[in-house]
Structures are given as structure tokens and as C-alpha cells.
């Protein structure tokens, strides 16, 4: 019988790439990880790993076993969800992850509703970039999380996760308004505001974040590389810099909910697509289902309420 804990380590290696990274993620020593993987290979009776220079990589049999591992872990999650559903009432810790603009807009009403309807839940929120969500869910550091991608830079779904749609947002090019308006954009209407801002200074997110990659992709699609002047991850800071005439930036709808004076929003055909994610098999867990319902209700109220679209600005 294959050991589930060892299967988790093999799955981690497939995602993280090195034994050292697996050891760090699991708080093991590299030698302990190697010993556990060697024991798994003996139990399997076929080579699961092979050396590639100074590193190891999974063999085809190893990759096949990882795919089966995802199914096994999903079945365990479903079993846990079934046991939780048999208990009376909802209680215990629920760890929720979200990106900053969702923490500011979507989470507060959802947390209020969950606290009112399920007072036995201990709700804990962690702010993080969507690129870190899959790993945090797989490692059980989170139970439910918000993630997103953009239609112009889609992200492949993680086989360890299930998710449900939450809301789609308009993406805007935020530009200085009034006398500080970017000259190329001010010259007249453009079929592509991003292309019109090719000579502007740009405010972009930190390298390694999804928002940074999306800005580069949007500019690349318009035929240029942005001239980056500032890096900022919080959209409140981004819009303050735009209002000060420091450049232009891509801003999704949730990030444009309370703009400062001096910012104009130009709608783009791009959309940011938000989802609620959880470990595969955990969707029937009562606490997970309650979180999903509360977040969906908060999203519906946000999109149908006043101020659903940011002002165009002066």
C-alpha cells in the first residue's frame, strides 16, 4: 500500500521542482525528503525519479502517479467533507485567502454574513497574490481563496483545485485627467487606449505578480514594451500616482472603486475573471460551501449596487 504522506511529497516535487524546495515547504530536511521518496519508489516497484544533472525529475511513471495522487487526495477531501456535514452546526477555523482589492471590497460583507449566520466559525484572512493561491491551498495553509486571471493572459487550472465563478470585471486604463492627461490619449478617441499610451510612463505591479505579467502582455499585444517608471501593487497607491501625473496603469474594476480626483478611466475590452477556489473534493464541506455562498452574495450586491462602474473622470 502506498503511503499518502509520501505521495504528497512526490506531488510537491512535481510542483516545486527541487527536493530543497519541498523540504522548505514541509519543514523537513532535504535528506528526509529524499529518504521518503526513495521509500515510495521501493514500494512502487518502478523508477519514479531520475537524475538530470544535479537535480532530480519525475519519470513518466512518476508523473502518472502524481495524477493518481490528485485523485486520491480529492477523495480524502470528499470524505472529510462528508464527515463534516454529519456534524451538528459549523465550527472551527476557516482560512480564507484573497488579493488586496478583494480584501477591501468583497470580503468585509462576506465576513459579516458568515459571522452572523455561522458564529461558530473562526474566520482568518490572509492577503496574497493569486499566483501564490494554488500552493497555499495544496499545502493546507488556506481552505478557501479568491483567485483570478485575465482573458488576455489566461492561467491553466491547477489539477489539485476546484473552483466556481465569482464575477468578471472590466479592466480600465487609468490616466491622469485634465491638463495632466497623457498627450497621446488626449489627442482623440482611439480604438485601443493602450496603444495610444505607448509613449507614456507606466505604473506597473511588482515583477512576479499576475498584474505585472498582464500589463506586459497587454502592451506587447499593442506592439510595444511599456516604459516603466514606478512599481506599485496596491491600487490605491497606483491611482494616487496616476492622479499626480506620474503615468498610466491598468486597473480592474474592483481596484477602481474609490478613485481620487484627477483620474480618468478608459474601458478596455479585457476582463479580469474572479473565482473562488478550494481543494479538489472539498466543495461539499459545509464551511467551504458557506464561504462560497457568502462571497457570491457579496459579489452580486457589489455589481448591482450604486457605483458599480467607476466614474469616467473629468
Residue by residue, DSSP assigns 248-270 as BEEEEGGGGSSPPTTEEEEEEEE
d(CA 287, CA 84): 8
Given CA atoms 232, 235, 237, 241 in this order, what sign does their dihedral have? positive
Given CA atoms 242, 244, 245, 247 in this order, what sign does their dihedral have? negative
Judge whether 251 lies within some domain: yes
Regions in the chain scoring below 70 on pLDDT: 179-190, 305-314
Judge whether 14 lies within some domain: yes
The pLDDT, as a whole number, for residue 187 is 46
220 and 256 part of one domain: yes
d(CA 139, CA 157): 17
130 in Cβ contact with 10 (< 8 Å): no
- Classified as helix, coil or strand, 35 is helix
Half-sphere exposure for 160 (CA within 13 Å, toward CB)? 17
Strand pairing report for 227-231 and 201-204: parallel
Boundary-marking domain end, from 83, 110, 138 = 83
Share in percent of the chain as helix, strand, coil (round to 5): 45, 25, 30
85 in Cβ contact with 287 (< 8 Å): no
The pLDDT, as a whole number, for residue 9 is 94
CATH of residue 63's domain is 1.10.10.10
The pLDDT, as a whole number, for residue 254 is 93
Judge whether 225 lies within some domain: yes
d(CA 64, CA 60): 6
Judge whether 280 lies within some domain: yes
The pLDDT, as a whole number, for residue 190 is 53
d(CA 291, CA 303): 18
203 in Cβ contact with 248 (< 8 Å): yes
237 in Cβ contact with 212 (< 8 Å): no
Q: How many domains does the chain have?
A: 3
The pLDDT, as a whole number, for residue 182 is 58
Judge whether 295 lies within some domain: yes
The pLDDT, as a whole number, for residue 131 is 87
The pLDDT, as a whole number, for residue 87 is 87
Judge whether 135 lies within some domain: yes
Judge whether 310 lies within some domain: no
Half-sphere exposure for 11 (CA within 13 Å, toward CB)? 23
Boundary-marking domain end, from 83, 106, 132 = 83
Q: How far is CA 115 from CA 81, 87, 119, in A?
A: 21, 19, 5
Strand pairing report for 249-252 and 161-176: antiparallel
Boundaries of domain holding 63 = 4-83
DSSP class of residue 312?
-
115 and 203 part of one domain: no
Name which of 4, 314, 281, 297 is nearest 143 in CA terms: 281
242 and 191 part of one domain: yes
- Classified as helix, coil or strand, 296 is helix
Q: What is the pLDDT of residues 25-70, one digit of tens each?
A: 888 999 999 999 999 999 999 999 998 888 899 999 999 999 999 9
131 and 192 part of one domain: no
71 and 216 part of one domain: no
Judge whether 311 lies within some domain: no
Name which of 226, 236, 234, 231 is nearest 263 in CA terms: 236
175 and 300 part of one domain: no
The model's pTM: 0.83
113 and 206 part of one domain: no
d(CA 78, CA 50): 33
For helices 19-26 and 30-44, angle between their N-to-C axes, nearest 10 degrees: 110
DSSP class of residue 153?
B
Amino acid at each position: 500500500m502506498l503511503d499518502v504522506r509520501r505521495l504528497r511529497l512526490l506531488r510537491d516535487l512535481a510542483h516545486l521542482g527541487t527536493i530543497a524546495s519541498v523540504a522548505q515547504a514541509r519543514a523537513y530536511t532535504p535528506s528526509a525528503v529524499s529518504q521518503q521518496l526513495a521509500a515510495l519508489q521501493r514500494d512502487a516497484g518502478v523508477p519514479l525519479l531520475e537524475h538530470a544533472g544535479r537535480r532530480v525529475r519525475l519519470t513518466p511513471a512518476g508523473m502518472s502517479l502524481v495524477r493518481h495522487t490528485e485523485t486520491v487526495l480529492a477523495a480524502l477531501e470528499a470524505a472529510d467533507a462528508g464527515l463534516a456535514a454529519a456534524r451538528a452546526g459549523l465550527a472551527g477555523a476557516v482560512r480564507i485567502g484573497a488579493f488586496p482589492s478583494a480584501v477591501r471590497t468583497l470580503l468585509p460583507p462576506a465576513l459579516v454574513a458568515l459571522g452572523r449566520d455561522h458564529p461558530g466559525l473562526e474566520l482568518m484572512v490572509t492577503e496574497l497574490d493569486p499566483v501564490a493561491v494554488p500552493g497555499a491551498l495544496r499545502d493546507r495553509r488556506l481552505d478557501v481563496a479568491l483567485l483570478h486571471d485575465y482573458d488576455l493572459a489566461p492561467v491553466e487550472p491547477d489539477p489539485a483545485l476546484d473552483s466556481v465563478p465569482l464575477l468578471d470585471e472590466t479592466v480600465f486604463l487609468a490616466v491622469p485627467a485634465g491638463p495632466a492627461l497623457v498627450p497621446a490619449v488626449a489627442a482623440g478617441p482611439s480604438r485601443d487606449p493602450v496603444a495610444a499610451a505607448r509613449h507614456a510612463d507606466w505604473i506597473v505591479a511588482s515583477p512576479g505578480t499576475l498584474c505585472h505579467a498582464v500589463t506586459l502582455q497587454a502592451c506587447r499585444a499593442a506592439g510595444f514594451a511599456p516604459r516603466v517608471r514606478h512599481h506599485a501593487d496596491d491600487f490605491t497607491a497606483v491611482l494616487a500616482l496616476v492622479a499626480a501625473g506620474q503615468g498610466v496603469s491598468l486597473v480592474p474594476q474592483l481596484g477602481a472603486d474609490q478613485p481620487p480626483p484627477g483620474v480618468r478611466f478608459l474601458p478596455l475590452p479585457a476582463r479580469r475573471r474572479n473565482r473562488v477556489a478550494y481543494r479538489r473534493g472539498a466543495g461539499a464541506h459545509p464551511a467551504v460551501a458557506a464561504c462560497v455562498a457568502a462571497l457570491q452574495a457579496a459579489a452580486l450586491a457589489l455589481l448591482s449596487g450604486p457605483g458599480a462602474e467607476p466614474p469616467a473622470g473629468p
